[in-house]
Structure 1
Amino acid sequence: MIGRLQGRLLSKQPPALLIDVGGVGYEVEAPMSTFYQLPPVGETAVLHTHLVVRDDAHLLYGFASTTEKNLFRLLTTRVSGVGPKLGLAILSGVGVDEFWNIVRAGDIARLSRIPGIGKKTAERLILEMRDRADHAPTVAGVTLPAGAGRQTPTTPLDEARSALAALGYKPAEVQRFTDAVYQEGMSTEQIIQEALRRAVR
């Protein structure tokens, strides 16, 4: 089991990362809550990881904190119908602290706005996770890095739109969310964060 990676960040194209650890490039998928905390490409990154073994692939998921990793594991092992892709979408859309607040409040409508989660899945998530909510740890607020380090797409707005599409939002939704929040000078991470906030209101 690979539980932690520390190495040079070679590329970041949400939700995918490539990290060089001793000359070996590890492909990792991560939620946007982790992307907000990554250093620029070329610098050292540390990720807490979870390995999923399937018949056709070994998939590695990375997180900025053990709190994120533990929630991802809970979601994907405890709640029926929630796999890794949906686990990443939840962490990308609302983050750890907000997820537990939603569960405590029983806010089905809020969860249902995340791509891939319908009303029935949202109801099941709240029902099956409610007993954990009172004891759930919290994480500190994220700090946005100064900018992104990817080469393509070429602008922060293009990068943000590509990331939102990869998270499951429809093209029309991506266009609407980014048009509503974009201001000159915003970084990729800032655009994504503001767009996701608008998406789950």
Structure 2
Amino acid sequence: MIGRIRGTLAAKQPPWLLVDVAGVGYEIEAPLSTIFQLGETGSEVTLLTHMVVREDAQLLYGFASEAERRLFRNLIRTTGVGPKLALTILSGMGAEAFWQAVRDDDTALLVKLPGVGRKTAERLLVEMRDRAEAEGTPVTPATVGAVGDAADPRDEARAALLSLGYKPAEAERMIGKVWEDGMGADNLLRAALRSAVR
């Protein structure tokens, strides 16, 4: 299994990354919390990875920290939660906020994430409660880096929201609610996601 990837960031289009390792390009799907911490295209990156081997595909998921990867692995062990939903949860709130929601038994916060209904949120809280104690206090995420400049930051933020499962009208509303002149795509996306889980 592939546990870590180090190479050159060849392309970045949330939630997908392409990392060039000695001439071989690895397609990696990552949560926005990880993508925010990466440098510009062409920079060297190191990602912790989780590999899923299916009958019809081999999928690689990448994470900036062990806390993120550990939460991802815990989430996909939960009934009804697959890798796509696990990435959506990580993208929407990050590891520290998720464990806090579990400790606070905060169903209302979880159901604001796309794809998480009340039953799924309740199941997550029940199944993850015991694991939260084993996790201890989650590591505070590293300072967020730039996602990169786009011709219009709203386009990049909109594309990222759509990839997370938000509907076009909802993505537009979220961006319009927090948009200010001069905002970069990364700050805009973070603000939009924060507004969705308040």
Work out whether the TM-score is over 0.5: yes
Aligned residues: 197
* Equivalence for 2:195: 198
Give the partner amino acid of 2:58: H
**8 A contact 2:174–2:192 mirrored in 1:** yes
Give the partner amino acid of 1:190: N
Instruction: Provide the TM-score with structure 2 as the length reference.
Output: 0.95
Give the SS at the match of 1:60: strand
C-alpha distance in structure 2 between counterparts of 1:20 and 1:183, whole Å: 35
- Counterparts of 1:1-201 in structure 2, within 5 Å, are 1-77=1-77, 79-136=78-135, 137-148=137-148, 154-201=151-198
Give the partner amino acid of 2:21: V
Give the partner amino acid of 1:11: A
Gaps of 5+ in 2: none
**8 A contact 1:36–1:145 mirrored in 2:** yes
Deviations 1:110-135 (A, max 9, x none): 10111111000000000000112233
Give the SS at the match of 2:144: coil
Gaps of 5+ in 1: none
Instruction: Provide the TM-score with structure 1 as the length reference.
Output: 0.94
C-alpha distance in structure 2 between counterparts of 1:147 and 1:117, whole Å: 26
**8 A contact 1:36–1:142 mirrored in 2:** no
Aligned CA-pair RMSD = 1.2
Give the SS at the match of 1:46: strand
Give the SS at the match of 1:8: strand
Identity of aligned residues (%): 55
